[in-house]
Amino acid sequence: MDDKPDSSQQPLKEEADPGHASAGRDHIVITGDVGTGVNIGSGNYTADNIAGGDMTVNNGQETTADKTEFARQMVELRRTIIEAHKSGEINERVARKMIDNLNDTAKLATEADPPPKNAILSKLQYIADVLDTAVDMLDNGPGRVLVRALPIAALLIKIATRIF
């Protein structure tokens, strides 16, 4: 009888940690290219880039084009508010309040690092609500300038949710 360890046995190897696998669920690791929206096993998946057709979502990260479009739409909304005031669709107090909110939004977006998303969205939502109310209150039906301003405000909110 020999009390010595068997020299033919391989030393134990430490296996890779399975990560976030939980009891009772599949844990499948796939490398390489996987088709868009493919889910193998149960559960869900995450990715840095999820693409579909001609659309690519880069994990919620903003692009320079988004920031440029945001700035361009801010300028366009400001011009439209001023035009609505000049055409008599909104009074000076309402126009001034909306422009002040636009100026505050621009300061928040450029001066803070990182920009406060909720404050920016709140100011843009205020502008959209005022525009919506102003359109509803016009006696002669919706004003042509205010109707143009509503989609601009909505687009700004959409862009802001993506980049901030």
Question: How does pLDDT run across 69-103, given as a tens digit for each residue?
Answer: 999 999 999 999 999 999 999 999 999 999 999 99
Closest CA to 62 of 115, 111, 124, 107: 115
DSSP state of 54: T
Query: 104-163 pLDDT, tens per residue?
Result: 999 999 988 889 999 999 999 999 999 999 888 876 666 788 889 999 999 999 999 999
Q: List the structure tokens of 58.
A: 């880069």
Statement: residue 31 has pLDDT above 90: no
Is residue 36 within 8 A of residue 52, CB to CB? The reply is: yes
Q: How many CB atoms lie within 10 A of CB 56?
A: 9
Q: Determine the pLDDT at residue 144.
A: 81
Is residue 145 within 8 A of residue 126, CB to CB? The reply is: no
Q: Residue 44: phi, psi to the nearest 5?
A: -135, 180
Mean pLDDT of 22-48: 56
Q: Where do the domains of the chain lie?
A: 64-163
Exposure letters 148-163 (e unless 16+ CB within 10 A, then b): ebbebbebbbebbeeb
Q: Looking at per-residue confidence, does 18 or 63 come out higher?
A: 63
